[in-house]
Amino acid sequence: PDTAKEGSFSSPESNLPSPVKQEQAKAETLVDLNAKTPSEDWDDILPSSALEKISEEEAVQIIGEPLLPLQSTTLRDYVDHSETLAKLVHLGVDLSQVEKRQKAGQLLLTLDFEKDIRKILLFLKDVGVEDNQLGPFLTKNPYILGEDLEALETRVAYLKSKKFGKSEIAQMVSRAPYLLLFSVERLDNRLGFFKNELGLSVKKTKDLVIRLPRLLTGRLEPVKENLQVCQIELGFQRNEIQQIVYKTPKILTASKKRLKQTFDYLHNIMGIPHHMLTRFPQVFNSKLLRIRERHMFLAFLGRAQYDPAQPSYISLDQLVSLPDEVFCTEIAKASIQDFENFLKTL
In this prediction, residues 272-290 reach a mean pLDDT of 96
Residue 174: other Cβ atoms inside 10 A: 18
pLDDT of residue 84: 83
In this prediction, residues 175-189 reach a mean pLDDT of 95
Please say if the pLDDT value at position 106 is more than 70: yes
pLDDT of residue 54: 58
Mean pLDDT of the chain: 83
Categorize the per-residue pLDDT at 4 as very low, low, confident or very high, splitting at 50, 70 and 90.
very low
* Domain locations along the chain: 74-146
Q: What is the DSSP letter of 64?
A: P
Please say if the pLDDT value at position 344 is more than 60: yes
What pTM was computed for the model? 0.71
Question: Which has more pLDDT, 3 or 171?
Answer: 171
pLDDT of residue 33: 40
pLDDT of residue 71: 46
Residue 237: other Cβ atoms inside 10 A: 13
In terms of residues, how long is the chain?
346
pLDDT tens digit string along 227-280? 999 999 999 999 999 999 999 999 999 999 999 999 999 999 999 999 999 999
In this prediction, residues 29-40 reach a mean pLDDT of 43
Residues 313, 279 contacting (CB under 8 angstroms): no
Percent of the chain whose pLDDT exceeds 70: 77
Distances (CA, A) of 103 to 83, 88, 106, 120: 19, 17, 5, 19
pLDDT of residue 76: 64
Q: What is the DSSP letter of 92?
A: T
Burial 2-29 (b: 16+ CB within 10 A, else e): eeeeeeeeeeeeeeeeeeeeeeeeeeee
Categorize the per-residue pLDDT at 339 as very low, low, confident or very high, splitting at 50, 70 and 90.
very high
Q: How far apart are CA 248 and CA 18, in angstroms?
A: 73
Please say if the pLDDT value at position 337 is more than 90: yes
In this prediction, residues 299-322 reach a mean pLDDT of 94
Percent of the chain whose pLDDT exceeds 90: 68
pLDDT tens digit string along 69-98? 444 446 665 665 678 888 898 899 999 899
pLDDT of residue 58: 60
Question: Which has more pLDDT, 39 or 156?
Answer: 156
Q: How far apart are CA 66 and CA 64, in angstroms?
A: 6
In this prediction, residues 288-302 reach a mean pLDDT of 97
In this prediction, residues 37-58 reach a mean pLDDT of 48
Question: Which has more pLDDT, 10 or 48?
Answer: 48
In this prediction, residues 175-188 reach a mean pLDDT of 96
Burial 71-88 (b: 16+ CB within 10 A, else e): eeeebeebeeebebbeeb
Helix (H) / strand (E) containing 6: helix 2-6
pLDDT of residue 55: 64
